[in-house]
Amino acid sequence: MLAQKHGSGSDSPQVPERRRGAKKLAGFALVLLAGASFYGLKTLLHRAPPSFPEPMHTVRRQGGLWMASSGAFSPDGRVLVSANADRTVALWNVQTSEILRVIRGYQQRVSMAAFSPNAKSLAVVSGRTLKLLDTRSGIVRWKLMRSHEFTGVAFSPNGKMLAVAVDNRVELRNPRTRALLRTITGVYSLSPIFTFFF
């Protein structure tokens, strides 16, 4: 028993040393962790901003205040239509950035425009008015007016339907006659519909 007690007493001075060694190791680990965190933060702060590719073409319009609300390409990609805040619609040559035609006659800003699949027609939304235009001449083929603003427009891939968003519903119309073919309801969101695709 005495030898056993003596043996346990001889090990006791090593316990504080082990604890001090563990504390030193923990402190060293904290220093390494803090250094790694600082280095990571420094690297993040000095990281160069992401680079973006240069534009192929820049389209500019001279004279007056002008801002495009939205834009859309023709099916062949050669013409760009811009719906403009100055109550006009502009057709642009994509390769040369030349304005091919400016269509006026709107009382409010033009918010969106869409080409038909054959590019012969252009659906244009301006406030509570929707117009279907002849692309070449700009002549209005028909006009549709509502008590609420139109918020979206798109042609079906075969060109036989024109989808129009108004007052939280989508109306499918015949592009030639503007006749209502179907109404899609059941949209429970309080926000208007702005974008949809066939």
Considering the domain architecture, whether residues 12 and 107 belong to the same structural domain is answered as no
Considering the domain architecture, whether residues 150 and 110 belong to the same structural domain is answered as yes
Q: Is residue 196 part of a domain?
A: no
Q: How far is Cα 171 from Cα 188, in angstroms, rounded to an integer?
A: 16
Q: Residues 67, 85: contact at Cβ < 8 Å?
A: yes
Residue 127 clears pLDDT 60, i.e. is over it:
yes
- Domain span at residue 107? 68-184
Q: Is residue 8 part of a domain?
A: yes
Residues 6+ apart with CB under 8 A from 86: 64, 65, 66, 67, 109
CATH number at residue 108: 2.130.10.10
pTM for the predicted model, two decimal places: 0.64
Considering the domain architecture, whether residues 129 and 177 belong to the same structural domain is answered as yes
| pLDDT tens by residue, 11-51 | 555 556 666 666 655 555 554 445 545 555 455 445 555 55
Residue 169 clears pLDDT 80, i.e. is over it:
yes
Considering the domain architecture, whether residues 12 and 96 belong to the same structural domain is answered as no
Closest CA to 173 of 190, 182, 165: 182
Considering the domain architecture, whether residues 104 and 160 belong to the same structural domain is answered as yes
Considering the domain architecture, whether residues 33 and 130 belong to the same structural domain is answered as no
Question: What's the distance, CA 128 to chain centroid?
Answer: 24
- CB count, 10 Å around CB of 38? 10
Q: Is residue 111 part of a domain?
A: yes
| pLDDT tens by residue, 116-125 | 999 999 999 9
